[in-house]
A and B are shown apart, each in its own frame.
Chain A
């Protein structure tokens, strides 16, 4: 589904700043319906990787393919969920969710119907006419999720989607995402710097090293789907987290 081979990228410096290498030959394979969590220390280049997949940025060498075709720009088969939500402040919840459909010229009645279904699905009932600034962070990100789902992508790209939320809200949204993944069987690529989140959500965890990023290790979590509520006390889960922690610590202490 997604196939990245030897992807390299260097951010060009602008005048006074020297060029910064960000990706140093990343290899990544994502199978259909799979949930892959890319874990790496802050600023390692994992967001860049996601932006390349979303078609927002180019790369220098290597191959980045989706469905076997090289990525050449944003496409209808992928939808991105942003770390800082990136909602239109002047648009209501409904209009924000329907934004992608509006861009594609879907008629108002139809896109409102889609938005209403999704509002129900992500638990925002009664907030259709609210504006983003009237919502809590968790609710705003639910809008972000619904907006991505509205365009019916095959692949969901999640860029540290819960990074700016408090731990309780974060846990709630993680469960929502697990449920949505289970129901829709969409392919999901999640980028995060949280060991817990990667282990909790992913079928597979791909560990990236500090900048410039390379894949250090890929681990099949082998945890059951659907995830039980008490996964936190599962011995395999605890061991996986311990392992990831140690690898991350070793990577960042150098």
Chain B
């Protein structure tokens, strides 16, 4: 779903947003439930959150975990994926485990990780990393496998050493897919962050959400939800923009 251009599309998108806002407002007012605030109430709560300090402190705490975990996942996952893609034969042995990790709900592993590691910053970052690693490995491996063998043949024909083959062919050709790996990994890392904070250790943004929920402050709960959506969407959009920028520089593959 890429953002297409054209004034008609822009008008339709605005209209879509308006419909959602109005429907939300009507539903919120009609509902007697304390848990379903109206759109305007939520916006007021959002404004209060944005001007206060609690939200920013929570965001800071959560994002520290996120960045540390994501950095660890990238540092571990990309080289591992590249190696598995480069040497497919030994990699066959890793296949079942990789598939398993992609399919198993990582959330179910979280309690174990916390039993072993405790609930501190490092353990939370490790959980975040464990969410992101499988998809990063999988994509990085695919990235190397997709490299056009003719390009490698050409490099070999010109006498490139293995190191030169990596530098001049494999990495540039794999770069766009590696960025996809990073973007998907980041999305999973955000998920990991939310899971830890909502489910197990009430800190950061998840802690804030649970706090508001405990006080039946529904507008603030929804405002925090919107903040998380905004952060996740921003990261995704930024990731895609970076991919577009760099894929023009690197090999053309569309």
Contacts and interface: CB of A to CB of B under 8 A. Distances in A.
B120 interface: no
A228 interface: no
Contacts of A15: 6-8
Interface in B6-32: 6-8
Nearest to B8: A15
A15 B8 CA distance: 10
Interface range for B: under 10
B11 to A, nearest CB: 13
Interface string A5-23: 0000000000110000000
A15 B6 CA distance: 7
A64 B7 CA distance: 36
Contacts of B5: 16
A16 B8 CA distance: 12
B172 to A, nearest CB: 30
A124 B6 CA distance: 48
B3 to A, nearest CB: 15
A15 B11 CA distance: 14
A98 B121 CA distance: 66
Contacts of B6: 15-16
A16 B9 CA distance: 13
Interface in A70-115: none
Contacts of A16: 5-6
Interface in A21-78: none
B181 to A, nearest CB: 29
Nearest to B6: A15
A145 to B, nearest CB: 32
A16 B7 CA distance: 10
B121 to A, nearest CB: 51
Nearest to A14: B6
A16 B6 CA distance: 8
Interface of B: 5-8
5 contacts: A15-B6, A15-B7, A15-B8, A16-B5, A16-B6
| Chain A to chain B: the 5 pairs with minimum beta-carbon distance, closest first | A15-B6, A15-B8, A15-B7, A16-B6, A16-B5
